[in-house]
Each structure stands twice: as structure tokens, then as C-alpha cells.
Amino acid sequence: MRWEIYVTGQMDSCDRYGLCGAYGICSINDSPPCGCFRGFEPRFPEEWRRADWDNGCVRKVELDCAAGGDGFVKQSGVKVPDTRRSWFNASMTLEECESECLRKCNCTAYASLNISTGTGCLIWFDELIDMSVC
């Protein structure tokens, strides 16, 4: 018999994919580590009290895209959410990106592809998942 040694890196709780569910944000400096973005609340508060954050957060007030009064809240210092349901355009400015997102009622967030130059556009079209404080 031959033994093989495997080493795994130390992980913090926020390294677990989607720990805080949709629209939840993880912070290793907080206890409990999960919270909701401003304007959101736990989907099932009783589950959150039991430290079960899988179902994430929901908006406190539903959006009304047709009315045209919705906007965005700037969020800094967070890890970019899962990009499986996203779209990008490397040549757009951030202002063009915001306008494009506002035109699409299923757009949930937008960001610059290159934060150092403020160029490019990344748009999300589904629930934002796997976010944490940097």
C-alpha cells in the first residue's frame, strides 16, 4: 500500500459558492457572514435565523420597468457575481452600459469590464449570486 498526501488550501466560509443565495452578500468579518443588499430582505427570515441562507434575498419593493423610475445603487468593494447569465461588450463606456441595462427590463446589474480604465460593459440578466465583500 502506498500513501498519497493531498493538501487543500484553507478556505473561509465566503469561499463556498453561493453561500448567501441570490442577492445575498457574504462578509467574513461579520457574524453571521450573510446579509442582503440595501433594498433587499431575506426571502425566508426564519431560515436565516437558522443560518440557512440558500434561498437568498428578495427586493423589498418590486421594480416597475415600464414606469421608467427604476435606477441602480452603486456597490463598491464586492466580488463580481457569477457571470453565467451575463453579456459583455468591450467597446462600450460605463454610461452606455447603464443606458443599455435600463433599456432591458430583465437586466439586474451592470459593471465596467475594466475598472482601472472604466471601459467595457458587463450586464447581468438574472439573480445575482456568489457575491462577497472584497
Domain count within the chain? 2
**Same domain for 28 and 45?**
yes
**Same domain for 74 and 103?**
yes
Query: In this structure, what C-alpha cell is assigned to residue 9?
Result: 488550501
Question: For position 3, what pLDDT does the model report?
Answer: 74
22 closest CA partner among 123, 129, 108: 129
pLDDT at 7 over 70: no
- The amino acid at residue 45 is P
**Same domain for 57 and 74?**
no
The three-state secondary structure class of 88 is strand
The three-state secondary structure class of 63 is coil
**Same domain for 134 and 89?**
yes
**Same domain for 24 and 5?**
yes
C-alpha separations of 69 from 66, 102, 103, 105, 127 in Å: 8, 10, 12, 12, 20
**Same domain for 55 and 86?**
no
Question: For position 46, what pLDDT does the model report?
Answer: 97
Residue range of the domain that includes 104:
69-127+130-134
**What is this structure's pTM?**
0.84
**Same domain for 77 and 48?**
no
**Same domain for 79 and 47?**
no
**Same domain for 91 and 43?**
no
- Over residues 30-48, the pLDDT tens digits come to 999 999 999 999 999 999 9
**Same domain for 3 and 34?**
yes
Q: How confident is the model at residue 8 (pLDDT cuts 50, 70, 90)?
A: low
Q: Is the dihedral of CA 45, 46, 47, 50 positive or negative?
A: positive
**Same domain for 108 and 83?**
yes
- Over residues 42-99, the pLDDT tens digits come to 999 999 999 999 999 999 998 888 777 888 889 989 999 999 999 999 999 999 999 9
- The amino acid at residue 61 is V
